[in-house]
Amino acid sequence: ALDYLSSLLYGGELLTVLGAKVNSLILAGQYWRLVTPMFLHANFLHLMCNCFAIYIWGRNVEALLGKARYLAVYFASGIIGCAVSFAASPALSVGASGAIFGLFGALLAFRKRDRALFNAVFGVQVLAIVVINLVNGFISPGIDNWGHIGGLLGGSVLTETIFSIPGIGTLMVTAIKQRNGPVVQGSVLFTAVVFSFINLAVDILYSFVDPRIRSQYKSKPKADKVPKAVKAGKAGEVSE
C-alpha cells in the first residue's frame, strides 16, 4: 500500500530511493539495484499476488530441490531476471516475478528430466500458466516481461545444473513422487484461474484510476522519450 501511494503521490520516486531497477543508476555504479527490485512491489495487490504464487509454487519446488537449493534458485533467478530486464528494457521496474518465474523454470527442467512423472503430478497446468502470463506480459502495459523471461530461463538452467550433480537428481525425483498429484493439479488450476482474473481486473482498474497507466493505453511514448521519463520516475514504471 505504501508503494502504491508513493507511486501516485511522488511518481515512483520512493521506489527509486528504496532500490527499484533504474538503468541509468545501475550504469552509474549502483549494481545492488540488480538485487533489490525483487524485494519491492508497485502496490499491495502486486505484493499479494506474488506472495500467493510463492505459497503455491514454492512448496512444490522446495520439495523438488530442498530448502537450500530452492532458495539459491529463487534468488539467483530474481537477479538474472533483473539483469535481463536491465539489458532489454529501459523502464523502471520492481517485483519478485522474475524469481517466481525461476520456480516455473525449475519445474520445466524437472519436466525435461521425467515428463511422465511431471504430467502425473502437475498435468499441463504449469505450461498453461507460463504461456498465459508471458502472453499477458506482452499485451499488457506496466509489466516487465523481460524480467519474467530472464527468471524463467535462469531457473531452468540452474535446476538443470543441479540435476547434473551425481546422486542429487535421484533424490529430487524421489521427493517429488511423494507429492499428491490431484491436489497439486487442483491448486495449479485454481492459481491459473485466479491470476488470469486478477491480471485482467488490475489492467482495467489501473486504466481508470492511474493516469500514468491510462495514458499508456492511449498512446505509447516514443523510444527516445523513455530514458527521460524513467529518469524522472514519472512514466514507464513497470512491475514484474
Tell me if residue 97 is catalytic: yes
Cα(36)–Cα(18) distance, rounded to whole angstroms? 8
Q: Helix, strand, or coil here: 94?
A: strand
Contact of 93 with 21, CB cutoff 8 Å: yes
Please give the grid coordinates belonging to residue 120. Answer: 502425473
Please give the grid coordinates belonging to residue 154. Answer: 535462469
Cα(129)–Cα(166) distance, rounded to whole angstroms? 31
Tell me if residue 156 is catalytic: no
Residue 162 carries which side chain, given as an amino acid letter? I
Please give the grid coordinates belonging to residue 168. Answer: 542429487
Chain centroid offset of residue 104 CA: 10
Please give the grid coordinates belonging to residue 62. Answer: 522446495
Identify the active-site residue in 148, 156, 187, 239: 148
Please give the grid coordinates belonging to residue 71. Answer: 532458495
Cα(55)–Cα(103) distance, rounded to whole angstroms? 11
Q: 128-151 as b/e, with b when 16 or more CB fall inside 10 Å? A: ebbeebbebbeebbbbbbbbbbbb
Identify the active-site residue in 77, 97, 140, 239: 97
DSSP string, 146-213: HHHHHHHHHHHHHHHHHHTSTTHHHHHHHHHHTS-HHHHHHHHHHHHHHHHHHHHHHHHHHHHH-HHH
Q: Which residues are catalytic?
A: 97, 148
